[in-house]
Amino acid sequence: MSGSLFLGALDAQTVVDAIGLGAVYALMAVGIGLVFGVLRLVNFAYGQIVMAGAYTLAFTSQADWPTWAGIAMCVVVTVVVSGLMDRLVFRPLRTQSPAVMLVTTFAVAFLLQNVALLVDVRDDTIGEPAASVASLNRAITVGGVEIRKVSIVAVVVAVVSLGLLALLLTRTRIGLQMRAAATDFGTARLLGVRANTVISVAVLLSALLAAAVAVILTVQNPLVSPDFALKDTIIVLVGVVVGGIDRLWTAMLGGFAIGFVTGVINGALPTDKTVFLPSVVFLLVILVLLIRPAGLFARGRTGMVERL
Amino acid sequence: MSRRFDDLAQLLAPVLLVVATAIVGSFTSRAIEIYFLTAIVSVAIVVAIYVFVGNSGVLSFGQISFVAVGAFAAGVMTIPLESKTGVLPDLYPLLRDHTIGNFASLALAAVVGGLFALLVGIPLMRLSGLAAGIATFAVLEITHNLLREWTKIGPGATTLALVPETTDLVQAAIGTVVVIAVAFAYQRSRLGRSLRATREDPAAARAVGIDVHRQRLWAFTLSGVLAGLAGGLYVHMLGSITADQVYLELTFVTLAMLVIGGISSLWGAVIGALAVSGLDSFLSEAEQGVGVGFTIDLPQGARLVILGAIMAAVLVLRPSGITGGREFSLPRMRRSAPAAEPAPEGGGR
């Protein structure tokens, strides 16, 4: 890293890593946006679903499971945790105000994080290594540029899963129902869309995305701790709202943009130049929200329609 | 007659609860007393948040910023002069060469909190919903970033230490009662009622000529004043503070207290703060294996799990909070003959 402030100092490695981070955040953004679409609920505890998946990878790796089995188990765990969260928390709160739902997901996040801490410190250290997936973190050389494999994996996984999701949403019956529910839940129900089915599918899909995110983030940072993915969730939430949470693709663009910007900034600027950078970034966030409250990429300036 | 008494009870009940907490706390050992102090100062912080969030119905993650600037203003300005140049050499000369007393520092904390809130609120109060939530969160991030890195106004990433520990139970109780009384006076005033009208129905409120932006700005600024004061009480209780102590965790915990108590009433803010603080203190003691009739010995770390589980359970089972968002009202006495007029609707609206 040259240490220069100029963007000219951006090397290909930084750009690729930034795209990789943007891809991960885009996945998280869609995971959050899917649930928001049908429930009008911002799930702050989404990061803890990712964390649960990451711990599964760490523990299966320590138990010498093959990598594929660990990843399969990771999917199972994220689906189970999401399902429980939906059944025990989201369902009773469906008719509540957005503030109550959001604060409840804080409490759930706080709870899951501390459960993880309790499990983690049994061996008297905080943090569990996930060795089996760490091999993906090696660099390969493409055209003279060192690129970490995981950045490529992140981009490929993001493109494939978002592509499949787009097909599901546009080409299948359940996808159509989900889009209808996200637009106007009340009318959709009148027309025969089953609320519980649509919500369950959205939660399931967001859980699958969480599993993919868990794998990629664990590869990047193989030491899993209770606050795993917490900071990422906060950044993604900001990105999602700045992009426009009302629709999936604007949420996804917001997630990608904030991930890419974060990656470029972290890669290109020396740390002594970045102490006030969060202030600048969040000032920009405020400006964007003031100019376009419904989101940077949203049509029109009107805010979202609250459910019911 | 009865209604008037009900109105008075809505103010007296939270005040008496805080005073009672202070009195009970004064009979305990020093090790236990800190729990009572913390609980009372938490009430001040949560009521300050309530003044904006509860009355306007707009969620803000930024109110702890005002607690933070209040705490740092009061802290930096009360460190004795002789040690100040040593521990905070980079301060602006104005801050470095002056020290003020305890009372003045609390007033300063309130003023700084209020000015900061006014400054932030002028643009931000145009927003509502999630955009308001994220924008106020951005304010919290900026405040934290500046307090952590800007050594001309504070200690930077190190601990702000040597702050006089002047917040005892008396000061905490008086300060918190002031916060409650101001919050009560505000919500009964024309301004407060206008804002509550915008919470219930923004379109109708606009239709009768209420300026939503201005009403929200009033409440945001008043909330900033009270939060700054609460921050001053907080730093004088702790004696030392870091920027991380007035950041995310405090934001989430105090918001949870407010929602658990009941987001739309003063009584709910007070009850929520006291209930969650009390539970937390009890669990802390239980973690150290304390006997309360029978000995409870929780494993380390179980406190936060139980606290989180109970908070989540209360929110799921009773989303409108312990008080249901209603003000305190006396239980209806049945001293008069049952044939008397039907009990009038209590003042709990």
Q: Is B135 an interface residue toward A (CB < 8 Å)?
A: yes
B267 in Cβ contact with B141 (< 8 Å): no
Interatomic CA distance for residues B76 and B90, integer angstroms: 12
DSSP string, B33-66: HHHHHHHHHHHHHHHHHHHHHHHH----S-HHHH
8 A C-beta contact, residue B68 and residue B116: no
Q: Please classify residue B303 by burial: count the beta carbons closer than 10 Å to its beta carbon, then call 0-12 exposed, 13-18 middle and 19+ buried.
A: buried
* DSSP β-bridge partners for residue B294: B292
> Using only C-alpha atoms, what is the Rg of chain B?
21
Residue A12 pLDDT exceeds 70: yes
Q: Cα-Cα-Cα-Cα dihedral of A229, A25, A147, A153, to 10°? A: 90
Mean pLDDT of A222-229: 89
Angle of helix A277-291 relative to helix A248-268, nearest 10 degrees, comes to 160
Contacts of A103 in chain B (CB under 8 A): 255-256, 259, 315
Q: Count CA atoms closer than 13 A to B74's CA, side-chain side.
A: 35
Across residues A164-181, what is the average pLDDT?
90
Burial of A78 (0-12, 13-18, 19+ CB in 10 A): buried
Cα–Cα distance, B56 to B194 (Å, whole number) = 10
Of A112, A241, A278, the CB nearest to B134: A241
Assess whether pLDDT exceeds 50 at residue A303: no
Overall average pLDDT of the A174-203 stretch: 88
Task: Decide if B233 contacts B167 (C-beta within 8 A).
Answer: yes
Q: Which residues of B touch A111 (CB under 8 A)?
A: 305, 308-309, 311-312
Burial of B41 from C-beta contacts in 10 A (0-12 / 13-18 / 19+)? buried
Nearest to B65 by CA among B237, B246, B216, B236: B246
Using a CB–CB cutoff of 8 Å, tell me whether B59 touches chain A.
yes
Q: Which of A89, A100, A303 sits opposite B259 (nearest CB)?
A: A100
Per-residue burial over A8-33, b = 16 or more CB atoms within 10 Å of its CB, e = otherwise: eebeebbbbbbbbbbbbbbbbbbbbb
CA distance B64 to B45: 8
Average per-residue pLDDT for chain B: 88
Q: What is the pTM assigned to this prediction?
A: 0.87
The mean pLDDT value for B182-191 works out to 95
Q: Which member of A106, A245, A285 has the closest CB to residue B138? A: A285
pLDDT band at A101 (very low <50, low <70, confident <90, very high): confident
pLDDT at position A138: 72
Which one-letter DSSP state was computed for residue B292? E
Contacts of B133 in chain A (CB under 8 A): 102, 241
Residues of B in contact with A290 (CB under 8 A): 123-124, 126-127, 135
Half-sphere exposure for B161 (CA within 13 Å, toward CB): 6
B292: confidence class by pLDDT, cuts 50, 70, 90: low
Which one is predicted more confidently, A77 or B248? A77
Q: Which of B63, B64, B105, B37 is nearest to B243 (CA)?
A: B64
Nearest CA in chain A to B142: A279
Give the pLDDT score at A83: 95
A144-154 pLDDT, tens digit per residue, is 667 777 888 88
Interface size, chain A vs chain B, as Cβ–Cβ contacts under 8 Å: 133
Integer Cα distance of A204 and B37 in angstroms: 45
Q: Which of A42-51, A139-148, A204-213, B16-25 has the lowest mean pLDDT?
A: A139-148
Query: Mind giving me the DSSP string for A79-147?
Result: HHHHHHHIIIIIGGGTTS-HHHHHHHHHHHHHHHHHHHHHHHGGGSSS-EE--TTGGGG-EEEETTEEE
Which 243-262 residues of chain B touch chain A by CB within 8 A?
A: 252, 255-256, 259
Reply yes or no on whether the pLDDT at B340 is more than 80. no
Distance from CA of A195 to the nearest CA of B (A): 20
ipTM: 0.84
Backbone φ and ψ of A139, nearest 5°: -95, 150
The answer to whether B127 contacts chain A (CB < 8 Å) is yes
Whether the Cβ atoms of residue A291 and residue A238 lie closer than 8 Å to each other: no
| Start-end of H helices in chain B | 2-26, 30-56, 63-78, 81-87, 93-96, 102-124, 129-149, 169-188, 190-200, 202-207, 212-238, 248-261, 266-287, 302-317
> Which residue reads 């799990």 in tokens?
B305
* pLDDT tens track for B65-101: 999 999 999 999 999 888 888 788 888 888 888 889 9
Q: How far is B165 from chain A (nearest CA, A)?
A: 31
Amino acid symbol at A107: A
pLDDT at A4: 42
pLDDT at B12 over 50: yes
* Minimum-distance CB partner of A100 among B129, B308, B315: B315
The answer to whether A76 faces chain B, any CB pair under 8 Å, is no
